Amino acid sequence: MSESVKSPWVLHYDASSCNGCDIEVLAALTPLYDVERFGIINTGNPKHADLFLITGSVNERQVPIIRQLYEQMLEPKIVIACGICACTGGVFKECYNTLGGVDVAIPVDVYAPGCAIRPETIIDAVVEGLGILEEKRRLLAAGSLEPAELPKQPSAADKPVRGETVAAAWQKAIANALQTAGQEEQ
Amino acid sequence: MAERTVIPFGPQHPVLPEPVHLDLVIEDERVIEAIPQIGFIHRGLEKLVQKLDYQSFVSVTERICGICAFGHSLGYSETIEVLMGVEVPPRAEVLRVIWHELSRIHSHLLWLGLLADGFGFENLFMQCWRLRERVLGIFEQTTGGRVILNACNVGGVNRDISNEDLRGIVLILDAMRDEYQVLLKTFLKDRSVANRLRGIGILPKEKAREYGVVGPFARASGIAEDIRSFGYGGYGLLHAFEPILSEECDGYARCKVRAEEVLQSMDIVAELVEKIPDGALSAKVKGSPAAGSRAVSRLEQPRGECFYYAKGNGTKYLERFRIRTPSSDNLAGMVHTLQGCDLADVPMNILTIDPCVSCTER
């Protein structure tokens, strides 16, 4: 087991959450749950961090910032989506300025649901993430760690509209694909 | 002559729990101007009223902000009750105030902790958050949630607290009070705290009026404004209510006002538990808001006065819902306090306003 798994440092960022999950992330670090006793420390510097705890759904303005933070973190690194908004968009999924969960901007390793997420769930997710972190570290040492690919630049136009059937969404997607294929041929 | 430099502050910064961006124009170490940029947490939540009916929308209003969650569901419910002429049972009104005041205790303890963290007093931060967990324990026992309570609905509340449990809550608060006095002494008497807060971010009374700041920020500048003193809802049962004021106008005054409001909220809860009437928990709400009907209501949130507006269109969906939150009022005052301060004091200035960005941007 490596040092980073024994004492992982955490970078926390609020993508566009309602604060509910943020204060629970902090509550996990403070006396009642106190994960600091396991060496988990909250840091403000992405280069120091092993775990990226990210809360809230993502809007277009946040995408470049989240990507910058993610890219600044050094391998091996783990992204944990904290709360249902970070997983899927949650209650704000249908808001006009919400693109969806965190996975529209960066690859996510662990999804931790809850509204607001409970500190116990965060601790569970971190423990699960540490397993993946150790695996990544082993691959990195062996020189075979493939960096995860960033999802393509999301846009509000890709978001399904409320009331749109799955068939209609597929038709739209196929039409878009054909159009781009046609443009490439020209 | 020193050269002017622009330093970007945020959106990701250790002192900020939420993303807000400031362009700080500095000369040597002195801030000449601060230009805020917001929009990082805008979700477009007000527009959801057209997709969710007015009763389900209560759960969305709770998620405007996780810190003042109960307050927003209360403010929204009160607005719809005015819009539809619903009479709320007296027990429900008092239960709402009890939850709301408990939220204020939790919000202020959270803020005091963040402030202590901001000036590097890690122990005090942990102690504040330790005490705050007691209030979250009360929330969990009475509603099942720690942050999002879902206890308020249009017409009343959907959970009761038995009179026995209410007395238990007062006992918990009494036990907290003794421990809180120790923290209070540190905040108000400790020299290292005073060094970081005294004379920082001064907002004189006239300026505070001019910028229209609200809440503890205004009360720390000597403006006696508190919506609770109008005695709306359950606050009417209180024998007296005096807003806590300070004339010092600096960061220390804002810390003092909030620290003392915690004790005031404990008193309010204890008094209301004595006076709570028995009776129904919720009034029946039928039909939809009439076409063209409008209603407003005001509420004292932990961060200040919050203003709600709703307009009906004859269906179960609202035409428009609008909130003016305390932090958006206070932003202008914050920018004023930043002008002329040292770069090292910028985090203190931002923190003493207690900005809630997710309320502001929704």
pLDDT in tens, B94-128: 899 999 999 999 999 999 988 888 888 888 888 99
**pLDDT score, position B105:** 92
- Whether residue B187 contacts residue B251, with contact meaning beta carbons closer than 8 Å, is answered with no
Is residue A145 predicted with pLDDT exceeding 80? Answer: no
Residue B355 tokens read as 């900005």
CA–CA gap between residue B357 and residue B274 (Å, rounded):
36
Is there a contact between A95 and B45 if contact means CB atoms under 8 Å apart? yes
CA–CA gap between residue B248 and residue B246 (Å, rounded):
6
Q: Where are the alpha helices (DSSP H) in chain B?
A: 57-62, 69-84, 90-118, 122-143, 163-189, 191-197, 205-211, 215-219, 251-275, 326-338, 346-353, 357-361
pLDDT digits (tens, 9 = 90+) for A90-134: 888 877 788 888 888 888 888 888 888 888 898 889 888 888 888
- Whether residue B35 contacts residue B22, with contact meaning beta carbons closer than 8 Å, is answered with yes
B51 close contact with A: CB closer than 8 A:
yes
Is residue A24 predicted with pLDDT exceeding 60? Answer: yes
A19 confidence band (pLDDT: 50, 70, 90): confident
Is there a contact between B43 and A20 if contact means CB atoms under 8 Å apart? no
A-chain CB neighbours of B136 within 8 Å are 27
**pLDDT score, position B108:** 92
Q: What is the DSSP string of B78-112?
A: HHHHHHHTPPPPHHHHHHHHHHHHHHHHHHHHHHH
User: Which range, of A34-43, A136-145, A168-177, B119-128, averages the lowest pLDDT?
Assistant: A168-177
pLDDT digits (tens, 9 = 90+) for B42-66: 888 888 888 888 888 888 888 888 8
A69 close contact with B: CB closer than 8 A:
yes
DSSP B10: -
Taking the CA of residue B168 as centre, how many other CA atoms within 13 Å lie in the half-sphere pointing to its CB?
12
Percentage, residues of chain B above pLDDT 70: 99
Q: Out of B43, B65, B146, whose CB is closest to A98?
A: B43
Percentage, residues of chain B above pLDDT 90: 4
Is residue A186 predicted with pLDDT exceeding 70? Answer: no
Helices B122-143 and B163-189 sit at what angle, rounded to 10 degrees?
170
A55 close contact with B: CB closer than 8 A:
no
Is residue B1 predicted with pLDDT exceeding 60? Answer: no
Cα dist from B190 to B109, B146, B197, whole Å: 18, 32, 11
**pLDDT score, position A160:** 56
By C-alpha distance, which of A130, A92, A86, A135 is closest to A112? A86
Backbone angles phi, psi at B315, to 5 degrees: -105, 180
Amino acid B187 reads: F
**pLDDT score, position B86:** 86
pLDDT digits (tens, 9 = 90+) for A164-178: 555 666 677 778 778
By C-alpha distance, which of A49, A110, A45 is closest to A82? A110
Go through the domains of chain B in sequence order and give each one's CATH number: 44-329 (1.10.645.10)
**Can you tell me the ipTM of this complex?**
0.81
Sheet containing strand B318-324, edge to edge, reads B294-301, B304-312, B318-324
DSSP B316: S
- Whether residue B108 contacts residue B300, with contact meaning beta carbons closer than 8 Å, is answered with no
Percentage, residues of chain A above pLDDT 70: 87
pLDDT digits (tens, 9 = 90+) for B121-170: 888 888 999 899 999 999 988 888 888 888 888 888 888 888 888 889 99
Scanning every residue of chain B, which has its alpha carbon at the shortest distance from the alpha carbon of A98? B43
What is the residue-averaged pLDDT of chain A?
82
Is residue B214 predicted with pLDDT exceeding 80? Answer: yes
Is residue A66 predicted with pLDDT exceeding 80? Answer: yes
**pLDDT score, position A44:** 82
- Whether residue B69 contacts residue B63, with contact meaning beta carbons closer than 8 Å, is answered with yes
Is residue B321 predicted with pLDDT exceeding 80? Answer: yes
The pTM of this model reads 0.85
DSSP B302: T
Task: Determine the Cα angle at A12 with ends A7 and A16, to 5°.
Answer: 160
**pLDDT score, position A74:** 86
Residue A180 tokens read as 């781009």
Is residue B311 predicted with pLDDT exceeding 80? Answer: yes
The pairing of beta strand A110-112 with beta strand A78-82: parallel
B164 φψ region: left (φ > 0), alpha (ψ -120 to 50), beta (else): alpha
**Mean of pLDDT values over A6-24:** 86
Q: What is the DSSP string of A36-65?
A: GGGT-EEES-GGG-SEEEEEE-B-TTTHHH
By C-alpha distance, which of B217, B191, B194, B192 is closest to B204? B217
Is there a contact between B67 and A92 if contact means CB atoms under 8 Å apart? no
Residue B247 tokens read as 């004339």
Cα dist from B336 to A17, A106, A174, B35, B181, whole Å: 28, 37, 53, 10, 33
Q: Where are the alpha helices (DSSP H) in B294-325?
A: none
A-chain CB neighbours of B120 within 8 Å are none
